[in-house]
Amino acid sequence: MLVNWAKDKILYFRPMLQLLRILAFPFSLLYGLVVYLRNRLYDMGFFKSVSYQTPIISVGNLSVGGTGKTPMIEYLIHLLQGHKVSVLSRGYKRKSDGFLLADSKSTAEDLGDEPFQIHKKFPEVSLAVDADRRNGIQRLEDLVRPDVVLLDDAFQHRRVKPKFSILLTAYGKLYANDWYLPTGNLRDHKGESKRADLIVVTKCPEGMSETEKIQVTKRLKPKPYQKVLFCSLDYSSEIKSFSGETVALTTLKGKKLAVVTGIASPKPLIAYLESRGLQFEHFKYGDHHYFTDSEIQKFSGFEVILTTEKDYVRLEGKVNNLYYIEVAHRFEEKDQQILREYVLSQI
């Protein structure tokens, strides 16, 4: 099986990868120093952070990938129903430049996979991409006049001072236990967590006890003004296509199934599908991967090809029998109410 072969290769190369990360430690120290100095220059006012009349809610993390930023943006869109919402993203790996406001002709290559996913699901939301967040916000204020702007993956973008910041950290990869790139996964100093209003621990295990939540909170060391919330991933029991077709996940049992992922952390999805009794071959690629013709040919012979929403937008029209599975953050009622009150109080 391809899955077993891939697991064997990962186990074989893991010690080598760990050694490379250890050898890269001096570069991590240099990277950490640069990040520290940059933040201090912002703190002292040498570099300016700009505030805006429009409420800006920032969603981001301290590490690279895999904390669930896009599902959080979608969760906030649901919370803000009834308000005129705009979303501004960098548009990572898009094949366009400058400011771009999504319309009916926009593609995943124009916007980037995750922004395009949001645009397709929420056409009533004005979505724009711009690496220059200041310019992007100003253009949205001029063109759209939104009630609120959701700033995607922007915790490090200190040129903009949001009204409210949500910091995400994955349960299995807490920033408190991490180290700078390239030895670790941190792209910012863990002490910068002090700039967050809410800290959300994502991808928590089902039935997480209150005792464990207290232990995790202690490791994160929140400030008195910060709340720590917990959520888990909620995968759908159905699979869908953008044409509107919906199929129960259970119907995939016994079919020749390929699961294709180009995301930072596919383990939760694979674990969920295995827990539902599905047998499949997993084709794993790097985050935001653009699939080549030869790669597509490898899994085009399967009865069903299942992928994530983010990957679907890069595979649509290139593969037959293609479906995606939706994922969302699920909060317990108490934490959901806290998040709702915090967010709505900013408008």
Confidence of residue 19 (pLDDT cuts 50, 70, 90): low
Higher pLDDT, 166 or 4: 166
Confidence of residue 1 (pLDDT cuts 50, 70, 90): very low
Residue 3's pLDDT is what? 41
Q: What is the pTM of this model?
A: 0.91
Percent of the chain at pLDDT above 70? Answer: 93
Domains in the chain: ranges and CATH: 56-233+330-344 (3.40.50.300), 235-328 (3.40.50)
pLDDT digits 0-9 by tens, 278-309: 999 999 998 888 899 999 998 878 999 999 99
Residue linked to tokens 């129903």 = 81
pLDDT digits 0-9 by tens, 184-204: 899 999 999 999 999 999 999
* Distance (Å, whole) CA 341 – CA 334: 11
Residue 45's pLDDT is what? 94
Residue 26's pLDDT is what? 84
pLDDT digits 0-9 by tens, 36-65: 999 999 999 999 999 999 999 999 999 987
Confidence of residue 7 (pLDDT cuts 50, 70, 90): very low
Residue 290's pLDDT is what? 87
